[in-house]
Amino acid sequence: MHSDHEDLAAGFVAAITSGDTEALRGLYAPDARIWHNGDETEQTVEDNLRTLRWLARNLHDFRYEEIRRDPAAHGYVQRHVLRGRLPDGTAVRVPACLFVTVDGGRITRIEEYADSRATGALLAHAAG
């Protein structure tokens, strides 16, 4: 993988898990779009930052494991397992894959495919 993309990808994961939304904002192009298979909708950067802030606040020991990255024509592909614990102690384990498009050193698009069977506890907590 292009070393710039590796640095970008590693910084992206670190900013998500630490809840550093300003760093995330700097990694995204201003008009980036983030699509999720669970609801098949696109988020703007600001919408996505709200979602990621929520995850960082609500998951204890929030981390990505089993990370594998490969170069793609216009960015990279990342497979990982999101892990953490909800405030009630419920363990969260969500296998996912990101197709990330990069232009000018910034993320312009993410298509995220997460195992919808594994997101139930997160969705229930968000609804509660």
Tens digit of pLDDT per residue, the chain (128 long)? 566 799 999 999 999 999 899 999 999 999 999 999 988 999 999 999 998 888 888 999 999 999 999 999 999 999 999 999 999 999 999 999 999 999 999 999 999 999 988 877 888 888 87
Give the span between the Cα atoms of 114 and 85, in whole angstroms. Answer: 17
| Contacts (Cβ under 8 Å, ≥6 apart) of 20 | 14
State both tokens at 1: 């993988």
Q: Measuring CA to CA, how many Å separate 90 from each of 17, 56, 87, 120?
A: 18, 15, 7, 11
Q: What is the reported pLDDT for 6?
A: 93
Burial of 68 (0-12, 13-18, 19+ CB in 10 A): exposed
- Residue pair 125/84 in contact (Cβ under 8 Å)? The answer is no
Q: What is the reported pLDDT for 104?
A: 95
- Note the pTM of the prediction, 2 decimals: 0.91
Q: What is the reported pLDDT for 21?
A: 92
